[in-house]
Amino acid sequence: MIKKNNFILLSILFYFFFIEYSEANFQQKLIDKYQSVFSLSFEFTQKIGDKIEIGNCRIKYPLLMNCEYPEKKKSIIANGKKIAIVKKRYKKIYYYPLKKTPLFFLLNKKNILNVIKNSEPIFKNSNSVQYKITDENSNNLNIFFDKNSLDLLGWETVDAYNNEVSFLIKNIKTNTIIDNELFKIPAEEDL
């Protein structure tokens, strides 16, 4: 009976050790992968409330982003200091300070790496791992990674109008060469 109990106890300890090692190994692999990422190019599906939009996006670390919404003739450009929503159809540009948005946290790779290093995932299954980020402005951002490829899968947040925003990525490519001209915000008269 004692040998059987020792075997069961040893089996339980081995199981927890294996799980802990597996989690630490995944965490280190994700950190290593994300440290090597300098740019991302991908297609996306964005859902805000009941509205769905599709497009393509390019991110260059740190703090640069250009997302095109061809159907809406709209783009969102982050140039490191501000975000501009460019509505070509209406020849209007709306500006927001980048630091006040959840994208500021997402576009700074160091912030993402700190969360991965210092936080436990809030959700994980056989396909994905999710981390929650809360910035100094109390913006919440849930960020998803593919558990197998370690690629960024997308994020969820709440916009300035309390709408839930879901941003899902597909066909991601890492470390493609992206010209910095792409992140220049045009003047309204040039639209």
Cβ burial of 103 (10 Å; 0-12, 13-18, 19+) is buried
Cut 0.75: pTM above it: yes
- Report how far residue 103's alpha carbon sits from residue 156's, in angstroms, rounded to the nearest whole number: 11
The 8-class DSSP code of residue 187 comes to P
> Domain 2-190 - what CATH class?
mainly beta
Give, in order, the Cα–Cα distances in Å from 169 to each of 21, 45, 88, 154: 29, 7, 24, 5
The phi and psi torsions of 166 (rounded to 5 degrees) equal: -120, 130
The 8-class DSSP code of residue 117 comes to H
pLDDT (tens, 9 = 90+) of the chain, 191 residues, equals 555 555 554 445 444 444 443 456 888 999 999 999 999 999 999 999 889 999 999 999 999 999 999 999 999 999 999 999 999 999 999 999 998 888 888 899 998 899 999 988 988 888 999 999 887 777 788 999 999 999 999 999 887 788 899 999 999 999 999 999 999 999 888 88
Residue 5's pLDDT is 55
